[in-house]
Amino acid sequence: MLKKVLLVLLLAWCPSAAAGTILVFGDSLAAAYGIGAGEGWVTLLEQRLREKDFDYTVANASISGETTSGGAARIEEAVRRTQPSIVILALGSNDGLRGLPVAQMKENLARMVRVAKSGGSRVLLIGNRMPPNYGRKYTEEFEQAFAEVAKAQRVPLVPFMLQGVAGNRAYFLADNLHPTAAAQPIILETVWPGLAPLLDAKGDAKVGARARAR
């Protein structure tokens, strides 16, 4: 119930002053789980946009524990409420951790991309990987799924959200699943190259031009 209340409050806030909204639609890896809300990479992204004079508001509709099935069930409402120019889709990790079918995950990801695009949003898909103890077949299929969806739906892909973080125990909380505050700037540096080209697209060209001229 608390999650639903928080989500309703978040989505009800739909700023109109900014040139556009970036909707981050993910799970605990985007929800700053286990660290301060202001320390997560999504907050750091908002700070970077301001520093670079990009006139965007960031709406974080990420929910800890969310699967692609849950995301597929709520994305229409999220897109309708926030009317984003860009959607950063960062779901799938919990599907993998639960060993859910990769084919189902791909279908859900594709559906979310289509919903976002149908609302006029540009989409950045964020991929992830599973540890080797899930078996070679599953881990390979899981990793490849993001690339296959990105290619089929013609959207850019960041192949691995935890690039530069995974494998370094110092960057994880005690659960060995969720990144620490120290890892968040690294995650932002991984996401940024995929996002930056979208900021200058279509109706945001004037915003991007102002940022480049600064």
What lies within 8 Å, CB to CB, of 100 at 6+ separation is 67
Nearest to 79 by CA among 23, 154, 28, 8: 23
Residue 18: per-residue pLDDT: 54
pLDDT for residue 110 = 98
pLDDT mean across residues, the chain = 89
Q: What's the whole-model pTM score?
A: 0.87
Catalytic positions are: 28, 175, 178
Of 127, 124, 134, 78, the C-alpha closest to 101 is: 134
Q: How far is CA 121 from the centre of its chain?
A: 14
Span 63-68, average pLDDT? 98
pLDDT for 100-158, tens place per residue? 999 999 999 999 999 999 999 999 999 999 999 999 999 999 999 999 999 999 999 99
pLDDT band at 203 (very low <50, low <70, confident <90, very high): very low
Check residue 37 and give its pLDDT.
83
* Degrees, nearest 5: CA angle 63-66-140: 130
Specify burial of residue 186 (Cβ count, 10 A radius: 0-12, 13-18, 19+): middle
Domain positions in the chain are 2-8+18-208
Residues 6 or more apart from 168 whose CB is under 8 A from it? none
Helix locations, 62-130, DSSP H: 68-82, 93-97, 102-118
pLDDT the model gives residue 94: 98
pLDDT at 7 over 50: no
CATH 3.40.50.1110 for domain 2-8+18-208: yes
